[in-house]
């Protein structure tokens, strides 16, 4: 799986209140949530993000609440994957359970600029930045069980296909 897309950069501690503020949580409509994604971090983001774009974050991405509205909003906004220095555990789990690819890379953040195009090659465990051929960074390998979850398309398909029973 190679994911190629344009980078949006966000810093450290992008918590779930920033990804989708609680004032919108009474809705579960993906389109509505996508219209407000990242609103309190960058109010213009939702109108500028395009399908296939990639978010590059800093430390502790997705901290805070267990709301799946956060990965839903990101996915509905067309985000192809998130690469961050680190993820909070509930967000990490939610992303895999819902089939949103996320990758841990401590190094990528400082090498890319907003608008750069990057290629995440999960199988090879690396990220390429075509405009900076020398800058290739490694991504942390995904544990085998989590790979199976992603391959199945998330936890519910994994369970209903009987793989996990």
Would you tell me which residues interact with another protein (CB under 8 A)?
13, 15, 17-18, 21-23, 25-28, 39-41, 59-60, 63-69, 71-72, 86, 88-90, 93-94, 97-98, 143, 145, 154-156, 159-160, 164-165
Residues 93/48, Cβ–Cβ less than 8 Å: no
Q: How far is the CB of 113 from another protein (least distance, A)?
A: 24
Residue with Cβ nearer another protein (125 or 154) = 154
Q: How far is the CB of 7 from another protein (least distance, A)?
A: 22
Residue with Cβ nearer another protein (96 or 116) = 96
Residue with Cβ nearer another protein (27 or 131) = 27
**How many C-beta neighbours within 10 Å does residue 139 have?**
19
Q: How far is the CB of 4 from another protein (least distance, A)?
A: 27
Residue with Cβ nearer another protein (124 or 145) = 145
Residues 46/38, Cβ–Cβ less than 8 Å: yes
Two tokens, residue 33 = 């949530």
Q: d(Cα 141, Cα 146) in Å, to the nearest integer?
A: 10
Q: How far is the CB of 130 from another protein (least distance, A)?
A: 31
The full DSSP string for 51-106 is TT-EEEE-TTBT-S---THHHHHHHHTT--EEEES-B-HHHHHHHHHHT--EEE-T
């Amino acid at each position: 799986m190679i994911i190629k897309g344009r980078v949006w950069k966000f810093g450290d501690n992008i918590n779930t209140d920033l990804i989708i503020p609680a004032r919108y949580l009474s809705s579960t409509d993906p389109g509505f949530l996508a219209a407000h994604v990242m609103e309190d971090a960058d109010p213009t983001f939702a109108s500028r993000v395009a399908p296939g774009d990639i978010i590059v974050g800093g430390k502790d991405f997705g901290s805070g609440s267990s709301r799946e509205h956060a990965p839903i909003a990101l996915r509905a906004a067309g985000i192809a994957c998130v690469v961050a220095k680190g993820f909070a555990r509930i967000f990490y789990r939610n992303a895999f359970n819902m089939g949103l690819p996320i990758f841990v890379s401590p190094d990528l953040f400082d090498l890319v600029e907003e608008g750069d195009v990057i290629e995440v090659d999960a199988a090879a465990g690396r990220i390429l930045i075509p405009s900076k051929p020398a800058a290739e960074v490694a991504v942390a390998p995904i544990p085998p069980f989590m790979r199976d979850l992603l391959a199945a398309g998330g936890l519910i398909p994994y369970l209903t296909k009987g793989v996990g029973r």
